[in-house]
Structure 1
Amino acid sequence: MTPAEIGDLFTHALYIVLVIVVAMIVPSLIIGLVVSTFQAATQINEQTLSFLPRLVVTLLAIMAFGPWAVSMVLDFTRQIYMNIPFIIG
């Protein structure tokens, strides 16, 4: 196995992690921005006001994107296991 092949596997794994994290975190960031804008406009300085909507949206994102994320990781794992003879030899 050449260093280029190891780099390709590592790059693909990092890409999968990045895509899954973005799918789970971006909705929470958008809701946090909306709530923060609302707080700034109304001058409400309550720390817990932004926590609950972000928590709910993050949990909904995990429920929505969870099966897709697991299937991506399983496909990558299957690909690694199927290519073990080619990787070693």
Structure 2
Amino acid sequence: MTKEELAKFDGRDGRKAYVAVNEKVYDVSESPLWQAGNHQGMHQAGADLTEELKSAPHVRAVVERFPVVGHLEEPEPPKKKKWGIF
């Protein structure tokens, strides 16, 4: 799943709420702490929360309890153009 695809799972308007942590995508839709895709006014579903989790008051194991629904893909680096001899 790309970051663009992940962003569609923001938990709003009945959509599923997914978050990514360390390249794994978790479904937090059923958690009462992620109502409408928002976690206590600090985090929004549909995002990679790897960096934010480093300063969270709980450990990563809390997120790891949720079902894994995918893997976050890194975008491929842009390909260099090959210049031919004219």
What is the TM-score when the length of structure 1 is the normalising length? Answer: 0.28
Higher relative contact order (CA 8 A, sep 6+): 1
> More helix per residue: 1 or 2?
1
Larger Rg belongs to: 1
